[in-house]
Amino acid sequence: MSDITIKQLAEQVKMPVEKLLGQLAEAGMHFSAADQLISTTERMKLLGFLRRTHGKGGDADAADDSAPRQITLKRRKLSEIKVATPGGRGAASTAKTVNVEVRAKRTYVKRSVIADEAAVDGEREEALRKLQESQQQRADEERARAQAEQRRHEEEASRQEEARRRQAEEEEARRLAEAQAQAAEAAVAAVPAEPATTEPAVSEPVPAAPATPGVQRLDTSSLGLILPRVHEPRRREKKPPVAPAPAAPAPAPAPVAEAARAAAGKSRHEVRERDEGPGGKRFASGELHLSDAARRSKRGKPGRGTPREGARNQPASGTHGFSRPTAPVVREVPIGDSNLVADLAQKMAVKGSEVVKALFKMGVMATINQAIDRDTATLVVEELGHKPVDASQNDAEAALAAHTQSAELEGEKQPRPPVVTIMGHVDHGKTSLLDYIRRTKVAAGEAGGITRHIGAYHVETPKGVITFLDTPGHAAFTAMRARGAQLTDIVVLVVAADDGVMPQTIEAVQHARAAKVPLIVALNKMDKADANPDHVKQGLANLEVIPEDWGGDTMFVPVSAKTGMGIDELLDAISVQAEVMELKAVVDGPASGVVIESSLDKGRGPVATVLVQQGTLKRGDFVVCGIEYGRMRALIDETGKTVQEAGPSIPVQVLGLSGVPEAGDDFVVVADERLARQVAAERQQKRRETRLVSTAKANRLEDIMAQMGQGNGQQTLNILVKADVQGSVEALREALGQIGNDQVRVNVIAAGVGGITESDATLAAASKALIIGFNVRADASARKVIDANGLDVRYFSIIYDVIDQVKQAASGLLGVEVREEIIGVAQVREVFRSSKFGAVAGCMVIEGTVKRNKPIRVLRDNTVVFQGELESLRRFKELVDEVRSGMECGIAVKQYNDVKVGDQIECFERIEVARTL
């Protein structure tokens, strides 16, 4: 749509031009004339303003609450009508024009408002209905409560009435019994001694009462009286005393027996009604075994409602059912590598304070939230009388072990290339020898001529494929050499023929013996004129490495990495040794192996160099590597080419791990990512628990007492180390941790792989630490923190430079040592008195030189009596700076006048000596 004028727009929307100009002004666009052009953008802006104003703008959910809920439109329409008016008499009618104005007012309400009002009305009706229902329910409850209260009052009144009736019956029975007793006494007094012959009123005699000594039995049959049986309430009955066995009663007449049974039945009914209430059942619910006290406790009502739960669950004896165990309970407590004190207490069902007390008795200071190791936990459990058992292994680890074992057992083993590790002293030509074999120039690019990490290569030789591992020779890389010896099949010990056996040579021999791998000695630098192979053989023979030509079993091969002499013989020796060992591995199956080296690349992420030992590692496999896991995104060989798979004894670089693994960690290919993630998580948790246990070991009582005895004189130099590969980090941490003495120690607060980041700089600033970057640099954000806090950052590429610099920094913490050195001794020969200087000693310098600006001591009988300064040193009235041995001088001691003949004046000076480690 092209631009149009405001007048044309007003005609299109059927709106006056003045009103349209007003709306444009409200929308922030000012137009003054109707013939001005308005663009499409301005028209869309006006439309948006009108929609927002009338509540129709944008998303309905995001509409402003302040938008109008309804609008009212007022319309006014003007029209004219002509009305005919009659004229006068004889005149014609005329037409009159009348103006008619129609005003209309309409109100429009938003549909959402109508829906909201309908919803509010529905909610109001629902709330009103619920209120009526609740009121009705409350009224029903009140009515039911009133009825229940009325029934309870009626039952209480009937119970009281029944009690009064029973009391009246008992009183009536008691009076009747008294009257019968009186009548019987009167009858006994009136009856003659001989028994009457008249027939009694009752044809059958009643049962005879038991005979009682000293009491004459009354025969009531002659009186025609039947005495009723009065039954007392069962609760008031007492156990009668033991009496002699009664005589066998005579058979009772039928009417008397019926009357007795009726009376007995009535009495039982009354007793049941008295005990249980009207209509109650005494033996309900099969509780025939309950005593009266138990029934009363069960029937008791503590308040309104049902009987108490405790009274319902009480046993028949009326006491609780808990009984104390007669013997101590011995539980089996599972023990893991790390155990929290609170968890141990819960497993043993004892209080945590008991476990803490037992630990204190053992000398371990641990709280309830700290972790203890397996041995300590076992001792605590046995001390508290329980049985420790080993905790079950993790399910994920067990599944992984079963998966790896089944893969090794099911696969068919085939011959594999040998893995050869090159070891030896620094600068003996290890990397140069391997460089000649590979036909490359690896050694030329190494800083300081020192290999900083394990290099892994597989080489195609005329004798077959051989995998070489190049290890560093510096003393700090002991862990790397030990790891290389553990991974290898054959160790090639490189010894310079012109240098002989050195410390790292001895260490390499020890590593090879510990790993139980065969040893081949390469006598390097044989092209030099001062080469002495016999000297090398003698030195190795002292280490029990005997050459074959001396009757031993170790092959010695003279080589030269510079000229290539003996390289073929060395490869032949390696091939022969590999054939003897018959090296085999499973080729088809999931891969497993070990991490040789790892690093953090800025563009590729975590990178690990792994050596495959079993199976075939393929691209896309899921791998668990220590506490890290991931999917293999790429496999790269030592030349930088991407490969699809790697078999046994082949080293490759892998990409795709979740983090940087530690050198020496095992890696295993698993079926899916879920198992890999679960195994990595469990290993991470176990490593964290182990770290907590190692931290808690420092809380032993003897360690704390030892630290208290040392005092606080030791100073600490904090260092943060970042390196390019994991092996260098490990070597630096170990080498720097060994620097220090009783006055100062080096503390490596953090060490990691990769560049120096902002978080590293922040940690160093908080810990006041020295930052060391080994073949890495700080990024831009880290440099800002370093500059802001004034941190000391030092970059290195040679490891012995790092050790020397840290030793110097640690020595700076030691400060300087002030030593006193005696430079001259003068003997007092005569004492003179001076009005200006007081006592002046005439002396002869007998040793060294006496200087004027140096401190002195006055010795008498080899005992220091004064220490101060020289006030004046003169020779023949001249003020001199020094007097040499064998010359006389006059000495005035400042603020000391008690100089005597025979004293010695010792002149000394203080020298500051920097202390070193």
Q: Does 502 count as an annotated binding residue?
A: no
CATH number for the domain harbouring residue 742: 3.40.50.10050
Q: How far apart are CA 677 and CA 300, in angstroms?
A: 62
> pLDDT tens across 345-381, in order?
998 989 988 898 888 888 888 888 888 888 888 899 9
Assign 340 to helix, strand or coil: strand
Do the Cβ atoms of 420 and 492 come closer than 8 Å? yes
Contact 695, 621 (CB under 8 A): no
What is the H or E stretch that residue 43 is in?
Answer: helix 40-53
Whether the per-residue pLDDT at 299 is higher than 70: the answer is no
Q: pLDDT value at position 395?
A: 59
Q: What is the mean pLDDT of residues 676-692?
A: 78
**Interval 892-909 mean pLDDT:** 88
Is 429 marked as a binding-site residue? yes
How many Å apart are CA 810 and CA 718, to the nearest integer?
Answer: 10
More confident: 440 or 837: 837
Most confident of 281-285, 315-319, 434-438, 442-446: 434-438
Q: Is residue 36, in this structure, part of any structural domain at all?
A: no
Cα distance between residue 225 and residue 228, in whole Å = 10
- Of 763, 780, 794, 776, nearest to 729 (Cα)? 776
pLDDT, position 56: 55
Give 9's pLDDT tier (boundaries 50, 70, 90). Answer: confident
* Of 190 and 113, the one with more pLDDT: 113
Q: What is the pLDDT of residue 289?
A: 47
Task: Say how many C-beta atoms besides its own lie within 10 A of residue 429's C-beta.
Answer: 26
Q: Is 471 annotated among the ligand-binding residues? A: yes
Task: Tell me the mean pLDDT in the region 867-872.
Answer: 86
Q: Average pLDDT of 399-425? A: 74
The answer to whether residue 714 scores a pLDDT higher than 60 is: yes
pLDDT at 828: 92
**What's the confidence (pLDDT) of residue 246?**
44
Which residues form the domain of 725?
711-814
Domain boundary among 668, 699, 730: 699
The CATH code of the domain that includes 478 is: 3.40.50.300
Of 295-299, 555-559, 807-811, 866-870, minimum mean pLDDT range: 295-299
* pLDDT tens digits along 66-88: 556 778 888 888 888 887 776 65
| Same domain, residue pair 527 and 561 | yes
Residue 852 confidence (pLDDT): 86
Q: Count the helices and strands in the chain (H runs, E runs).
A: 22, 37
Give the lowest-confidence range in 258-267, 552-561, 690-699. 258-267
660 shares its domain with 722: no
- Domain membership flag for residue 316: no
470 annotated among ligand-binding-site residues: yes
What is the per-residue pLDDT for 317? 46
H/E stretch holding 470: strand 464-470
CA 278 to chain centre: 68
Give me the CATH number covering residue 354. 1.10.10
Greatest alpha-carbon pair distance for the chain in Å reads: 178
Residue 278 has pLDDT above 50, yes or no: no
Q: What is the per-residue pLDDT for 411?
A: 66
Q: Is residue 843 predicted with pLDDT exceeding 90?
A: yes
Cα 752 to Cα 146: distance, rounded to the nearest angstrom: 81
Confidence of residue 454 (pLDDT cuts 50, 70, 90): low
Examine the domain organization and report whether 616 and 737 are in the same domain: no
Does residue 405 lie within any of the structural domains? yes
- Please indicate if the annotation marks 527 as binding a ligand: yes
Q: What is the pLDDT of residue 291?
A: 46
779 among annotated binding-site residues: no
Residues 6+ apart with CB under 8 A from 131: none
Task: Give 494-514 pLDDT, tens digit per residue.
Answer: 898 888 888 888 888 888 888
Is pLDDT above 60 for 292?
Answer: no
Same domain, 680 and 727: no
Whether 661 is in a domain gets the answer: yes
pLDDT at 215: 41
Annotated binding-site residue? 333: no
Any domain includes 272: no
Here the CATH number for the domain that contains residue 620 is 2.40.30.10
When mean pLDDT is compared over 316-320, 713-717, 817-821, the highest value belongs to 817-821
Question: Are 562 and 537 part of one and the same domain?
Answer: yes
Give residue-wise pLDDT tens across range 794-817.
888 877 788 888 887 777 666 667
Q: Tell me if 754 is assigned to a ligand binding site.
A: no
pLDDT of 184 > 90? The answer is no
Cβ atoms of 490 and 517 within 8 Å: the answer is yes
Calculate mean pLDDT across residues 646-673: 87
Q: Say if residue 423 is in the same domain as residue 568.
A: yes
* 424 annotated to a ligand binding site: yes
Asked if residue 460 is part of any domain, the answer here is yes
SS3 613: strand
The reply to whether 214 sits in an annotated binding site is no
Give the per-residue pLDDT at 254. Answer: 44
Q: Is 472 annotated as a binding residue?
A: yes
In a shared domain, residues 523 and 650: no
Do 448 and 427 touch, CB atoms closer than 8 A?
Answer: no
Are residues 524 and 552 located together in one domain of the fold?
yes
578 shares a domain with 589: no
Give the dihedral sign, CA 253/255/259/265.
Answer: positive
| Residue 468 burial (CB count, 10 A) | 24
* CB proximity list for 416: less than 8 A, separation 6 or greater: 583, 584, 585, 587, 647, 648, 649
Classify residue 651 by burial, with Cβ atoms within 10 Å: 0-12, 13-18, 19+: buried
In the beta sheet, which residues pair with residue 772?
721, 794
Residue 649 or residue 714, greater confidence: 649
Flag whether 485 is in a domain: yes
pLDDT number for residue 89: 60
Q: Does 347 belong to an annotated binding site? A: no
Question: Beta 715-723 vs 744-753: how paired, if at all?
Answer: parallel
Q: What is the pLDDT of residues 89-127, one digit of tens each?
A: 656 667 788 888 888 888 877 777 777 778 878 888 888
Q: Are residue 447 and residue 567 in the same domain, yes or no?
A: yes
**Residue 765 belongs to a domain:** yes
- The residues near 765 (Cβ < 8 Å, ≥ 6 apart) are 785, 789, 791
The answer to the question of whether 566 is labelled as a binding residue is: no
- Statement: the pTM of the whole predicted model exceeds 0.85: no
Q: Could you tell me if 552 and 432 lie in one domain?
A: yes
Pick the range with the lowest mean pLDDT from 78-82, 164-168, 380-384: 78-82
pLDDT band of 903, cuts 50, 70, 90: very high
Mean pLDDT of 176-189: 82
Q: Are residues 765 and 867 in the same domain?
A: no
pLDDT (0 to 100) of residue 209 = 43
Which of 556, 582, 608 corresponds to the end of one domain?
582
Q: What is the mean pLDDT of residues 13-20?
A: 86
Short-list 611, 643, 653, CA closest to 468 = 611
Q: Does the annotation list 690 as a binding residue?
A: no
Please check if 473 is assigned to a binding site: yes
pLDDT of residue 265: 47
Distance CA 723, CA 480 (A): 15
Report the percent of the chain where pLDDT is more than 90. 5
Instruction: Point out the domain boundary residue: 789, 814, 839.
Output: 814
Looking at the 3D structure of the chain, how many domains does it have?
5
Interhelix angle 673-696/395-410, rounded to 10 degrees, is 120
